[in-house]
């Protein structure tokens, strides 16, 4: 058993668990090299128009646990009542302070109030 096979067995075990490992041979030295390709990170971007506290809790869950960016349209809460709109603002503030989420206003018109929220792993880069 070669050195690479022993290393592979130590990492992946003796079973078929290492099937996604591809062995590559260097064309110049003919030495085999183990190449492990990392899985790409894919984020879902959630667009939501929250109307209730449960909807805002879903937004918090997406940012904190699922690590997905969220685009909020707060126009329903803004038009519904000052209390629900303030609650949404408090949740956004909590996400920023406790979880280092980023928030940026995308658009504020008569029929839209869009805010982009991202988890701390995703940076919003502002360019002029």
pLDDT for the residue 42: 72
> What pLDDT was estimated at residue 123?
84
pTM: 0.66
Q: Residues 50, 97: one domain? A: yes
Each residue's pLDDT tens digit, 45-98:
999 999 999 999 999 999 999 999 999 999 999 999 999 999 999 999 999 999
Domain of 101, in residue numbers:
46-118
Q: Give the pLDDT score at 116.
A: 96
DSSP, res 72: E
Same domain, 111 and 50: yes
pLDDT for 3-53, tens place per residue? 556 666 666 555 554 455 555 555 666 665 555 566 667 778 999 999 999
Question: Are 118 and 101 in contact, with CB atoms under 8 Å apart?
Answer: yes
Whether residue 62 is contained in a domain is answered as yes
Q: How many domains does the chain have?
A: 2
pLDDT, tens only, 111-123: 999 999 999 998 8
Tell me, yes or no, whether 128 lies in a domain. Answer: no
């Amino acid at each position: 058993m070669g050195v690479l096979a022993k290393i592979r067995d130590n990492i992946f075990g003796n079973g078929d668990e290492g099937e996604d490992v591809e062995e590559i041979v260097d064309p110049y030295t003919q030495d085999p090299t183990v190449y492990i390709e990392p899985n790409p990170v894919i984020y879902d971007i959630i667009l939501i128009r929250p109307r209730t506290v449960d909807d805002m809790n879903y937004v918090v869950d997406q940012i904190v646990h699922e690590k997905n960016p969220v685009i909020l349209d707060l126009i329903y809460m803004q038009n519904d009542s000052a209390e629900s709109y303030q609650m949404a603002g408090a949740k956004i503030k909590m996400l920023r302070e406790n979880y280092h989420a980023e928030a940026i206003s995308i658009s504020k018109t008569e029929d839209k109030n869009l805010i982009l929220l991202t988890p701390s792993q995703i940076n919003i880069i502002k360019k002029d």
